[in-house]
Structures are given as structure tokens and as C-alpha cells.
Amino acid sequence: MAGAFDLGGGILDVRAHGQGLINDTFLVTADSGQRVILQRINRHVFPEPARIMANLRILSEHVRKRQAGGKSAPELRLPGIIPARDGKDFAVDARGGFWRAMHFIDNTITLTAITGKAQAEEVGFALGRFHALTHDLDPARLHETLPGFHNAPMYFARFLRASARPRVSAASRELLYCLDFVETRRGLTRVLETAKRKGQLRMSVIHGDTKLNNFLFDANTGRAVSLIDLDTVQPGLIHYDIGDCLRSCANPAGESPGDPASARLDLDISQAILERYFAETRGFLTHDDRDYIYDAIHLIPFELGLRFFTDHLEGDHYFKTDRPGQNLHRAMTQFALTLSVEKNEGKIRSLVGKL
């Protein structure tokens, strides 16, 4: 499929790339030395992948205009689309697989864990700059690429259906723990959707998947230079992105530690991320936005735990797994993180207030 795209010559090498749980990702090197990211979009997850590409066109054009006129090179780059030979922004294979190619951003690295304040500040900068670049792009111009994504009450309803008819037989101690954990937090799932309905929070353009390995850092300077994985760029609440970013970046144990109980929210990392984030977004964040930051940091790990747990109950058809029970383990990890957020509620709220 790499040959379906115009890479300015023949293809030297194609290899699997990255750690995504949804799409299939390859790094392609052309004869010319040019490197591109080739992906098959997961059609089970994204019902209409062409919408992703339509959104990316609108986003790129908007960001290009915003960054044009700047004297120096843009501080945050987004990967550009490489059109297929027939001029479309994607290519479909004989079995209906949906493929697209994007520029590979050279001389960058991803991190598996944040190890210091400077890295955390870079993450805050990149997310804040992304929101600053898109806050004047009308979200209504974008398609919903994943309907209901980050709609926690919808995930909860789905969990109720799955737990009524689980496709796993063994009721392990972990499974019973997760059932109880979710059932005692039923009300939590509504917090952001209710604020949206009341008009306290408004729709914006969001990234949708602000986990640590979607931030690219310059290999020499360590500066965050790009935010990748733009499939879930769509209308949403910036709170989803903020919550997801802290969920992923401020938990030093990561998403798959040996012991789920080691997951926790690190307050120093959280502070450094939020401080830089606010510095970038001060001009347009409202009081209501600020008042729901804690709720976002609380909800999003819970929501992801709920999504992993539901996938476990449904027989692992959404997130890629390489062993049985992996989604249950992932859920336990996110629930441990949720618990750590709850224990630190007072500190997190006063941190946000102070910043």
C-alpha cells in the first residue's frame, strides 16, 4: 500500500512502528531517503475514516494560516498529509482496508515516562499551544470521527449492558473489584456532560488522544515540537484533553505497570504541565473552564478504566491485546490512578486555584 502514495521514488523499507492500540502503523523509507508514516485505520473503531482525513485538511489549513506571518519556524508542527497517487487523501485496498500516509517528523523521540520538570513543561506547552491554535476554529466545521468518544455516560451505559451479559466466565477477585469500583462511581460519569448541557463548558476543537507517546520531542533540544495521532481531532471539550494528558503523562508508572497499584498521579509533574498549559491558554480559558479541571483529571482515568473493563467483559474486541486478562489489568491500573486522584483532591484543587 505504500506504493499507492507518491513518495517521490521507489520504496526501500517498510517496518511496524509505534505502540498504538487501535490502528496498524508502519514507517516507510523511500529511495529518496524520505520517511513517512503509513497507517491502516481501524474500521471497527472509526466508522467513516474519510472523515478523519477531511478534518485533517481543515485543521492543517487553519493552523497554516495561523502560523503564517510568524517570523520564525512554527513552534508546534503537525504532521502533513501525503496524498495518494490518484489525488485523494487516502487509499483503499482490495479488502476495503483504509490507508493514509503522513510526513514523519525527523529527529524526534517519544518518551515512555516523564523524568523531570522540563519534560512536563514541554508537554503543557504543546497541549496549550494546540488548543491556542485551534480555539478560533469553529468545531462545527469538523466531523465527529468517533461518535460519543469521551462521552462517559455512554460508556457507562455500555458497561451496564456488558456486565449483564459478560463474555468472560471467570469472576476473579480483580473482576469483582472493578465491578464494585465502577458501581460506586456511577454519578462521576455525568460531570462534564452535565456542565456542557448547562452551557458552562463549550465545545471546541480537541485532539482527543493526548497520551505521552503522542508528543514528539526534539532529539537534541528536548523541546516538544509536535503532537501526532490526529484521528480523534473533532468537536469536544478541552477538558477531555487536559484530563487525558495528566492521566497519561503525570502517572510515572505508565499504562501497563507490573503492579496496577503502582499507578498514581504525581503532583509535581501535574503542576509543571498545568503551569505551562495555562500560560499558553490564559487568553481564552474561563472561570468555568478552571472550575472543571479537577473533574476532568478525576473523570478521564476512570473513563479509560471503564472502557478497558467493558472491553474485557465484551471479549476484547476494541483495544489490541496480546494476552487474556490484559484489558482487566489495564482497567485496574486506571482505577488505581483514579483512586490516587481522589486521595489528592484537595491538593489538586488548590494547585489549579493557585496556578
Which residues make up the interface to Mg ion (CB under 5 A)?
A: 209, 229
CB of 206 to ligand GN1, least distance (A): 12
299 touches ligand GN1 (CB under 6 A): no
Location of C-alpha cell 502503523: 25
The strand pair at 224-227 and 215-218 is best described as antiparallel
- If you ran DSSP here, which 8-state letter would residue 68 be given? T
Which stretch, 2-10, 15-23, 67-75, 166-174, contacts ligand GN1 (CB under 6 A)?
Answer: 15-23
Is residue 99 a contact partner of residue 92, using CB atoms and an 8 Å limit? yes
The mark string for 311-350 relative to ligand GN1 (x by CB under 6 A, - otherwise) is: ----------------------------------------
232 touches ligand GN1 (CB under 6 A): yes
CB of 248 to Mg ion, least distance (A): 11
3-state DSSP assignment of residue 354: helix
- The CA distance from 208 to 216, in Å, is 16
Cell, residue 292: 472543571
CB of 146 to ligand GN1, least distance (A): 6
- Cβ neighbour number for residue 320 with a 10 Å cutoff: 14
- The CA distance from 328 to 86, in Å, is 44
Q: Pick from 229, 241, 266, 275: which binds ligand GN1 (CB under 6 A)? A: 229
158-162: long-range pairs with CB below 8 Å, 24+:
158/310, 159/306, 159/309, 159/310, 159/313, 162/310, 162/313, 162/314
Is residue 156 a contact partner of residue 189, using CB atoms and an 8 Å limit? yes
CB of 194 to ligand GN1, least distance (A): 22
CB of 229 to Mg ion, least distance (A): 4
User: Considering CB under 6 A, how many residues would be counted as binding ligand GN1?
Assistant: 11
257 touches ligand GN1 (CB under 6 A): no
**Contacts with ligand GN1, residue ranges (CB under 6 A):** 20-22, 45, 146, 209, 211, 229, 232, 255, 304
